[in-house]
Amino acid sequence: MHNIKFFVLDEADRMLGNDSSFYTDVMNLVRTPGFPSVANRQTLLFSATFTKEVQDLAAELLKKDHAFVSNGRAVAANPLVKQHFVEVAFCFKFVVVSFVT
């Protein structure tokens, strides 16, 4: 694990919320011997919402001079990000993913 350069959590609000069973797992992971310290990794947290509670909990994972970047809307997607959806039957998901570029 010492080679880890980036630690990424998507849906960080769900992973770190006090009512989440993942919080303990995430914290146990980052406290594992050999896991890079905050200073030796880049931590990226993604979520549509970051409550003050989640920001406080996330502080232990982040460098002291970290920044939270927001599009200024509490629960809206950034209009500059193009999103594409394809509904696929479960049995074809791996085939379809192989064509995504």
The two three-digit tokens of residue 50, written as one number: 């970051």
pLDDT of residue 95: 87
pLDDT of residue 77: 67
Average confidence (pLDDT) per 10 residues, the chain, 101 residues: 90 82 90 94 88 86 88 69 86 85 59
User: Which of 66-72's residues contact partners 24+ apart within 8 Å by CB, and which partners?
Assistant: none
pTM for the predicted model, two decimal places: 0.67
pLDDT of residue 90: 92
pLDDT of residue 37: 94
pLDDT of residue 29: 92
CA distance 26 to 75: 24
